[in-house]
Structure 1
Amino acid sequence: MAIKQPVSENALRTKEDLMAAFRQLTAPLTQLYSTGGARLEIRGAGAGHTQEIADMEGFSRISWGLVPYLAGGGEETELKEIYLRGLINGTDPGHEEYWGEVGDYDQRLVEMAAMGLALCLAPETVWYPLDAGQRRNLYNWLNQINVHPCHDCNWLFFQIMVNLGFRQIGEPYDAPQMERNLQRIDEFYLGNGWYSDGIGGHSDYYGPFAIHFYSLVYVKLMENEDPQRCSIYKERALLFAEDFAGWFDADGSALPYGRSLSYRFAQSAFWSAFAYAGLSSEALTPGVVKGMILRNLRWWFSQPIFDSAGVLTVGYAYPNLVMAENYNAPGSPYWAFKTFLVLALETNSGFWMSAEEDMPQLPALSVQAEPHLVVCRDLDSGHVAAFNSGHLGTNAHTHTPAKYEKFVYSTRFGFSVPRAEWGLEQASADSMLALSERDQLFRVRRVNEETWISGNVLYAKWRPWGDVEVQTWIVAGLPWHVRIHKIKTGRPLTAAEGGYSLAAKQEQQIEKAGNPGLSVQNTFGESGVCSLRGYTKAQLVYSNVNTNVLYPRTSLPSLLAELEPGSHLLISAVCGAPAGSRSAPPLEEALVSLGITRTAQGVTISREGLTDITVEM
């Protein structure tokens, strides 16, 4: 029997509903605090930092929700008393639960940002009740952030948030540090509202739930003092919102893409900050933004993301350590509480007084060049698929190829990460071309030498080995898209082209085509692959359990080819039609709609108003 958290029955229509949701989500936590209140002792798997720091992290992350809850007039709760006690004891060098002296690039620097927000929004709770010694301890502990470097990415905003807090309570703050960081973050800006997470970094959820989020808090607090910068931040957020809306499915879910997916409903934190800063547009009215937030929360609260006590787990659409980050501690998922920022708005604000509205009208195809994506939307089902040209840089985070280098990411099919290193079942290489030296050890794309996007065509050149060059063209579309790989190899290889993963059910229909191809259908929808050139076998791969971020068990239609040293051209058509969408059209009809013409040596891609692209041997 599924465990239901009371919040799953919450209608989530009004501010009081959202206040109640915060109380429902935190009710199971009050018994998990340490005696001194400074540690939230959720037990489970470990993280890259110590247990003591993980417990401090859990304490801090609750404040992303508690602070706006209190600032917005939330009723007194036991949690408020625990939080204040913990804040006092955690920053007292003489107390056994003291959070300690921090180091450079310390995880505790991350967690200070929420306390900076607390000083900004709720000083009457976290500052004014303290005596002189307690204030000195809190200030001194937080001020460590000004003498220890943060990573050169979204982390720079943590120092800004703490100093904003100091400024709000009239304590000395490091204005030069703030200015240096604000100027450096400007260098991450790519245009059209998009940031990368550091120079050469990815453009993922750290744009909306970190950089834009903090920028809009800055706007709210500093508009009179720093009007020019705040005007720029608002303009960028409005531009970004137009693209980011396209990441959300009509059912309320958002695109699973990138790292830190365990932060779950932090996906809609940007929309909360957007409303908090008073932003709106003709398309993104307060009612539309309200709908973006509440639909996303309703979707999340209907998923099995809680343990039997009602505590959030590490994972995505279900508890899952396979896809987790090295820095994910048991309390880490409460970063999701950033979405509660809208609770700080007055009940009679335009946001809360507006009726919830449906999503704005969004195009069937949107080129988002800065994050290297072409976002396609099925206008019948609301399914979103983001096709990805790939990146010129990479990083050392967990499962980076799976989280950033798939050919396509989907709100209905999700994506998978590898479970281990042996064979296709462990590789779980959906929406990827996996290559092995015929030894069952498969390599996939991790980084690219060249990428570009032209209309609905995405191109990348990448090298899984020094003597293997792969040129990939993706012709984006729904429900069908086409993949073309021109491969020059100096070694014998096995190639495996993975389609979309489909949630596995005992009752499913498998159809094989003779060219070769294969499709699988069940109540979740249809996933299929069909060879247009070069593949010799179709296979249904049953991926290892718990590798897909949406479903514990999946099946993966795949095409296989054996490649000898030399040049090869592999072309496939891939279909993904989730439940609720129209039946996929026949392949030949789909190829015509995608502008694909097969030639004796390859294919030509024709698009209206754009130069034809011909790929041949």
Structure 2
Amino acid sequence: MTDELSPYTGWTRRHWAELADRLLLSARGHASPGHARISFPGRPGGYGSDVDGLEGFARTFLAAGFRVAGENGDDPLGLMDWYAKGLATGTDPNSPERWVRLDEHGQAKVEAASIALILHLTRPWLWDRLDPVVQEQIIGYLAPAVGSDYPPINWVWFQIVVEQFLASVGGPYEPGDIAAGLALTDGFARENGWYADGSERAYDHYAGWALQFYPLIWTEMAAGDPEADARRPVYLRRLEQYLQDAVHLVGGDGSPLIQGRSLTYRFAAAVPFWLGARSGLTSPSPGLLRRAASGIMRHFADHGAPDEDGLLSLGWHGEWRPIAQSYSGPGSPYWAAKGFLGLTLPADHPVWTAAEEPLPVERGDYQRVIAAPGWLVSGTRADGVVRVINHGTDHSVPGSNLTDSPLYARLAYSTATSPLLAGPHADQPLDQSVVLLDADGSPSHRTGFDTISLERLPTGTVTGASRWRAHWVEPGPEAPDHGSGRSGRVRLGPWVSVLSIVRGPWEVRLVRLTDGDERGRLRTDGDERGRLRVGGWPVPAGAACSLVRGLDVTGTVSAEDASPLAPWTDVPWCATSTAAREDIWYETALYLGPKDPAEPPVVTWDDPSSGRVTWPDGTTDTFDAPPPGGMTTSGPAPLPGS
């Protein structure tokens, strides 16, 4: 039956349930006597051990609740009784194990949403059986959400979920909070069902595991309310559109795209696929949704997450703390428990009874434009790798002149490579970058760029372009690392335009420099200011072939312990040997594949602004290079409901 139902992953609902149980039983060994805090091993996070213990409870509570809800209350492990004790202890203001309150620390607002969600999903088997005194304690613990300030990003949904639960159990709530939050989140909507995480160009896994998840969960919580019932079809349509893109971003080995913050949540990346099934979508099909979700889970399980003790560490596969943000603690990785959402669906649900279907990257090669985040996507069946060329995401806004976050502002990401996240090149762009080197050899940054174009050509080849002011930043005082760029004292350089033409494992990357003002000249007599350097794919040493060609100096940097994928990462680069010239197009070609390519693509110019690319497969594409002041495609978000 396993082979018939799961020919690609071998995973069935039983595998998911067994892993959830293992994770939950392992967590119990790190609980406080009253079960209120689960404090996993490791040094405390940036918010302290009190927050860490609350995270451990709330995030494992997600897995427990999903497990029992999907079994219609059947609970052989006694999960509800175990967590009921923790709820009573954590919300008791006189307990030495009491939780950090929502009005004491902002992180408690995040964890409160998980607690409220599971109390809703398991109401007949937990909330309704709690002592009234404990119910009042929980209401009192959650009540500070009412009227409170929440950051205008995905956090707004935490307030909505908590207040909706409070409303359902006769607690205090403010309809105006919910209405204002819904209106704010409408402004996150972008093209083709995508959401940005706030007003910035912040596109990452939060688009699925938070910004798609909470709207539909809220409509379940508020079912029967006219506002919720009217919004549900809009949210469903957005999810359906988003999933058409999302299934193209999963590698053949099950790896999610290694891009964006909070990657230590790992298999939470499976959430939007389970959400599609829970919401009754039939496109993508149930078999494809489960293939994507189970592929992601098996990818991590096969690479040691959870570990031999059944624990999740701060890391990607195994433990690797640099992947975490400064606020992350040992309980943080357990937001991965959101990935068990599929267990809320009973064994006879179509997502479990349908046979797995192949991922897009298993069916054949493709190139795809995803407009909202400004991504050109290329998947290749031969190696199962999905590549994203990035002309629209930097966790910032045009003209901001911040440092480049390696998680957002690199020119490309993939399911087989990780940006350099530790060591000198995390702050000084090397991999997947186009930079100018100043007199000291320091590379420029691109955050704050403009998106110029995104297009799919008749042959299937995809192209995109962006333009930015090269700048160097002397960062100000240390600020908490939330995965985005940093501000500071800025020196401006020339304008940099990049045109990407993408097909299969290749990207033709064309670069042009346009002089700035007197402070941003391309060269300074007697030093190396203004040398152009293009960085290639950062590959785990010996794992794949990455090369970049086209300029007159080439080399490879080997970085130690700079990525969660391997002890060493190799980054090829090419550069000009002298100061770069203005107003000409420099040609480079970047490759990521399983072996050395036989031949690269060839660029032929018909005139200074147009040319042709002939690819190794014989296809020829024509292109028009963007003018120096090319129009940007950046603009306002579509209207809510679009």
Is 1:560 the counterpart of 2:592? The answer is: no
List aligned pairs for 1:343-492, cutoff 5 A. 343-360=343-360, 364-391=366-393, 394=396, 401-420=405-424, 427=428, 429-455=430-456, 456-465=462-471, 466-487=492-513, 488=515, 490=521, 491=523, 492=529
In 1, are the aligned partners of 2:469 and 2:494 still within 8 Å (CA)? yes
Cα drift, residue 484 of structure 1: 1.6
Matches within 5 A, 1:225-240: 225=225, 226-240=228-242
SS across alignment from 1:116: helix
Give the direction of change, closer, same or farther, for the CA distance of 1:247–1:495 in structure 2 (3 Å limit): same
Check whether the contact 1:119–1:169 (CA below 8 A) recurs between aligned residues: no
Write out per-residue CA displacement over residues 284-317 of structure 1, whole angstroms, 9 at most, x where no aligned residue.
Answer: 2212211111111111111134455331111223
CA contact (8 A) 2:403 2:427 kept: no
Task: Verify: 1:264 aligned to 2:279, yes or no.
Answer: no
Paired residue secondary structure (2:576): strand
> Which residue in the other structure is 2:485 paired with?
none
1:97 alignment counterpart: 97
SS at match of 2:406: helix
Tell me what 2:315 maps to.
Answer: 315
Aligned CA-pair RMSD: 2.8
TM-score by length of 2: 0.82
- Relative to structure 2, which stretch is displaced further, 369-378 or 129-138? 129-138
- 1:315–1:323 CA contact under 8 A, matched in 2: yes
For 1:430 and 1:373, locate their aligned partners in 2 and report how far apart those are by CA, in whole Å.
17
Assess if the C-alpha contact under 8 Å between 2:208 and 2:271 holds in 1: yes
The answer to whether the Cα contact below 8 Å between 1:392 and 1:450 also exists between their aligned partners in 2 is no
Partner of 1:508: none
2:545 aligned to which of 526, 535, 538:
526
- Asked whether 1:496 is paired with 2:522, we answer no
Separation in 2, partners of 1:412, 1:341? 26
Per the alignment, residue 541 of structure 1 pairs with: 557
Map Cα deviations across residues 216-245 of structure 1 (whole Å, 9 max, x no partner).
223444454332211111111111111111
- Of residues 29-38 and 605-614 in structure 1, the stretch that sits farther from structure 2 once superposed is 605-614
What residue is the counterpart of 1:7 in the other structure? none
Per-residue CA deviations over 1:440-477 (Å, capped at 9, x if unaligned) read 43333222145432332221111232132211111122
Distance 2:240 2:15 in 1: 27
Q: Which residue of 1 aligns with 2:478?
A: none
Distance 1:51 1:186, change over 3 A: same
Residues 182-201 of structure 1: matches in 2 within 5 Å? Answer: 182-201=182-201
Contact 1:391 1:448 survives alignment (8 Å): no
Instruction: Give TM-score scaled by structure 1 length.
Output: 0.86
Specify every segment of 5 or more residues in structure 1 that has no aligned partner in the other structure, as ranges: 1-10, 506-523
1:73-92 superposed matches below 5 A: 73=71, 75-77=75-77, 79-92=79-92
Aligned residues: 569
Instruction: Return 5+ residue gaps in structure 2 as ranges.
Output: 1-8, 457-461, 472-491, 524-528, 614-618, 629-642
Aligned counterpart, 1:586: 599
Counterpart of 2:110 in 1: which secondary structure?
helix
Aligned counterparts, 1:125-144, within 5 A: 125-144=125-144
Contact 1:372 1:388 in 2 (8 A): yes
Shift of 1:425: 9.7
Letter in 1 for 2:416: R
Are 2:366 and 2:379, in contact at CA under 8 Å, matched by a contact in 1?
yes
Q: How far apart are residue 247 of structure 1 and its match? A: 0.6
C-alpha distance in structure 2 between counterparts of 1:611 and 1:562, whole Å: 28
The residue type paired with residue 569 of structure 2 is: T
The answer (yes or no) to whether the contact 2:190–2:372 under 8 Å persists in 1 is yes
Partner residue of 2:566 out of 544, 551, 567? 551
Deviation at 1:260, TM superposition (A): 1.0
* Alignment CA distance shift 1:201-1:339 (3 Å): same
Whole-angstrom distance in 1 between the partners of 2:239 and 2:626: 39
Cα–Cα, structure 1 residues 387 and 177, in superposed 2: closer, same or farther, change >3 Å? Answer: same
The SS at the match of 1:546 is strand
The DSSP-based 3-state class of the residue aligned with 2:211 is helix
In 1, Cα distance between the equivalents of 2:31 and 2:63? Answer: 17
